[in-house]
Structure 1
């Protein structure tokens, strides 16, 4: 048992008060990363601000915000890089801030990303607290902050915005707010192609709710399944599995009465509107029909091949000794991700989280896109961190703080090295 209970507000306190330790820890980690990035960049004669706002995908987003869609680059090999590959919500927000405040489009993108990263941290805390309690919530946020590519959370990219929308949509599902979940899923679908993961979570949860409802009608007196975790104050600090039925001893996730069927149906219908609307619009604009967006992605050499290209990429690393070490590292990394996902299944995470995480992992690992982008594509898969967060809560507070501090320093150094080198694609 740790004394971390004294660092978090009681379950009945207002949400923001309960989330304060997680937000302060997250802000401290990100501030450290930005300071190290600024010092490292200055030593190399580069601008940290430029690295955060005016390179790679951030340039494409600001061009969409400023000029709209239609810009493309034709490469010597015949590939066509079109800005239609970039979903519109982040550019829309950049344009809105630029119009409302004296900010450049790049400044607006940075502000959106910083605010979205805090919203994402709150959402991750809310989900983890709902399922496993506030201590795991705090640790989950800190682990998300100290990921090796955590610096992307502070860039004018769409990862933080998407993670915020996804986390809060999942939380809405866990608390029975179907309309909110559907709207947030639709907005996530306007942010990144992986918005399909949020839509899948809403749909699977909706179908299961109706199946359980029909079973309950056929079996009078059957208990309604809830997301309440089998967690009691003073119990073991290990991650606890969600209970199969409501329990008075589950203070962090009280039972949620089933929402009316029309709300569930409406939430399910709203969820795919964002992604479907943009994909269909791109197909209409390109004149290539409903699948026109796939042609746009093909111009970037992006596609879904079931992981064949990634497996071949890893296999090619074993042609020489130095690169073989990188190949081993990639295999270990993928194995760790899969092990954490299986751990979530064994700990009976809510089906919403499992479906969402599974789709994010599949789209990231089985896509034929540039392989250097895969670490940042995995950033939204925060539920895989919950088993690690549970393990972190089992340590004494002094040790968990030390582990987090070491990881934060390592993440800050790696982020600065990464952005001053090849950087994220």
Structure 2
């Protein structure tokens, strides 16, 4: 980034009262810079849309070849967990699920799914003639675009617009990026997380706290956003104390108080409904989701390396992706990324590696961990050859599209 480009990101100064009616010549560069920012934003969102449309085209082609009687959009809107979010919209939270009765001695329940995504589906369904499945897909797609915008803004503010653009394109080209086009809660959660981290970067404390609350109402991993808010606030309070700023701690502390309310509130509600404080964790055990400190992950790697059983492509991809994310996190530490940003990625990694949920879901769990892609985006941004950069991005998008079709139509389990 040049110094001139950096100045473009500065807010406009208001014209003093009584000033000239026409803008001063000195304001022209700021206007040009605002125009440039709009062009970069349009490029980022357009590039992301192109990547995801390529993925959708691949899903349509796979579906036409394997199941021409079923609409690709209907499959994306109703596959696996998508149906449970829509079950909540239609029936409310219930234990009456047709998924085989019990697991681990505990009845399956939609209480495992956090409420904000179903609430938004209900709101869209109430005002648009899309049906429940169509409304779920509309909310997810809107969340994907909002996430892409937030990711671009975050990467641009932290490093450069080129880095932000590449970060968005990489996020849209991940192996599990087809979930960004499904009626799942990950796109919406990523949107709240991206804008919350941007608010932290800009020291907009209350905005960060409120967005963290929304993230915590969307997925249990919202606690990663709340942890990032906590670390950033701690650093700000320490800085205020050193500066002897008597009020510099107020907004950071307020943000910390607000950040986890969605998570705590939902767990408290489930506990009240079930009559026990740990009711939510009991519900999660029915879905084989509990923290086992990585024993299940290690067992999966052991089976992949030493067992003679056949290996699904998704298992191999998951194993490689997890290792890749760990390496990228280590590189981020070496690059001295902000501690609160590392905290966000670390908590998401900890959940993905330490949860007992079935192995292949971990790629999806890490879909919101766009911050872990920053070292890759920075590396691509530093390439002198635009052709080489485009080759990497296009290749990643093509592989993601083909793999997304495989996940949607061939692989028999949830992504």
TM-score interval w.r.t. the shorter chain?
Answer: 0.7 to 0.9
Secondary structure in 1 aligned to 2:108? strand
Which residue is equivalent to 1:275?
Answer: 263
Quote the residue 2:28 is aligned against: none
| Residues 91 and 9 (structure 1), Cα distance of their counterparts in 2 relative to 1, 3 Å cut | farther
Residue 34 of structure 2 is matched in structure 1 by 13
CA distance in 2, matches of 1:371, 1:72: 26
More helix per residue: 2
Name the residue aligned to 2:321: 333
Decide whether aligned partners of structure 1 residues 104 and 323 sit closer, same or farther in structure 2, where only a CA change above 3 A counts: closer
Q: Is the 8 A contact 1:344 1:354 kept in 2?
A: yes
Query: 2:115 matched to 1:88?
Result: yes
C-alpha displacement of 1:47: 2.4
Separation of aligned partners in 1, 2:205 and 2:143: 22
Kindly state the Cα deviation for residue 390 of structure 1 after the two structures are TM-superposed.
Answer: 0.9
Residue 259 (structure 1) shift = 8.1
Q: In the TM superposition, what are the counterparts of 1:21-420 in structure 2 within 5 Å?
A: 21-45=43-67, 46-73=70-97, 75=101, 78-217=105-244, 260-289=248-277, 291-317=278-304, 318-320=306-308, 323=311, 332-395=320-383, 396-420=385-409
Per-residue CA shift, 1:338-395, capped at 9, x if unaligned?
1110111111111221010100010011100111211111101111111100111122
| Contact 2:106 2:283 survives alignment (8 Å) | no
Q: How many pairs align? A: 382
SS of 1:349's equivalent in the other structure is: coil
Q: What is the alpha-carbon distance in structure 2 between the residues aligned to residue 259 and residue 417 of structure 1? A: 55
Taking the aligned partners of 2:309 and 2:286, their CA distance within structure 1 comes to 34
RMSD (Å) for aligned C-alpha atoms: 2.6
Relative distance call for 1:375 and 1:331 in structure 2 (3 A) is: closer
Compared CA separation, residues 327 and 94, structure 1 to 2 (3 A): closer
Distance 2:162 2:224 in 1: 27
C-alpha contact (below 8 Å) 2:315/2:360 kept by paired residues: no
**C-alpha contact (below 8 Å) 2:176/2:363 kept by paired residues:** yes
Q: Distance in 1 between matches of 2:66 and 2:313?
A: 28
